[in-house]
Amino acid sequence: MEGGRGGANVAMVDWLVPLCMFGAAWMWMHRWGQRGHRGPKSWPLIGCVVEQASNFDLLHDWLLYYFRRLATFSVPMMSINNTFTVDPLNVEHILKTNFRNYPKGELIHERFVDVLGDGIFNVDGEKWVRQRKVAVLEFSSSKLRDHSINAFRTKALKLIHVLSLAACSNQAVDLQDLFMRLTLDSICEVAFGVDPESLSPELPSVPFANAFDEANRLIIRRYVDIFWKVKRALNLGAEARLRRCVQVVDDFIYGVINTRRAELKDAQPDSTERADLLSRFMSLPNEEGAPYTDKHLRDVVVNFIIAGRDTTALTLSWLFSMLCEHPRVVQNILEEAKSVLAANGKGNGTVDFDKCDVPDFARLLTYQALNKMAYLHASITEALRLYPAVPLESKIAVSDDVFPDGTKIKAGNFVSYAPYAMGRLEYIWGPDVMEFKPERWLRDGAFQPQSPFKLTAFQAGPRMCLGKDSAYLQMKMTTLMLLKFFSFKLVDNHPLKYSMMVVLYMANGLKIIVSAL
pLDDT tens per residue, range 264-289: 777 766 555 676 778 878 887 776 77
- pLDDT at residue 372 above 90? yes
Query: What is the chain's mean pLDDT, rounded?
Result: 86
Residue 286's identity, in one-letter code, is N
* pLDDT above 70 as % of the chain: 88
pLDDT tens, residue by residue, 63-117: 999 999 999 998 887 667 889 999 999 999 999 999 999 998 888 899 999 999 9
- Helix/strand/coil for 414: strand
Least confident of 1-10, 318-327, 448-457: 1-10
Q: What is the pLDDT of residue 46?
A: 58
Q: What is the pLDDT of residue 241?
A: 95
Mean pLDDT of the region 163-170? 92
pLDDT tens, residue by residue, 344-367: 765 445 567 788 899 999 999 999
Greater confidence (332 vs 127) lies with 332
Q: What is the pLDDT of residue 221?
A: 85
Mean pLDDT of the region 339-347? 77
CATH superfamily of 45-516: Cytochrome P450 (1.10.630.10)
Mean pLDDT of the region 285-300? 82
What does the alpha-carbon distance between residue 421 and residue 85 come to, in Å, rounded to a whole number?
A: 9
Least confident of 2-6, 461-465, 473-477: 2-6
Cβ-proximal residues to 34 (8 Å cutoff; 6+ apart), any chain: 41, 42
- Helix/strand/coil for 487: strand
A 10 A CB-CB count for 113 gives 16
Known binder of ligand: residue 465? yes
Domains of the chain, residue spans: 45-516
What does the alpha-carbon distance between residue 4 and residue 388 come to, in Å, rounded to a whole number?
A: 67
Find the angle CA(226)-CA(216)-CA(175) to the nearest 5 degrees.
Answer: 145
Please give the model's pTM, rounded to 2 decimal places.
Answer: 0.86
Find the angle CA(233)-CA(236)-CA(242) to the nearest 5 degrees.
Answer: 85
pLDDT tens, residue by residue, 16-75: 555 454 444 444 444 434 444 457 776 665 567 677 777 888 899 999 999 999 999 988
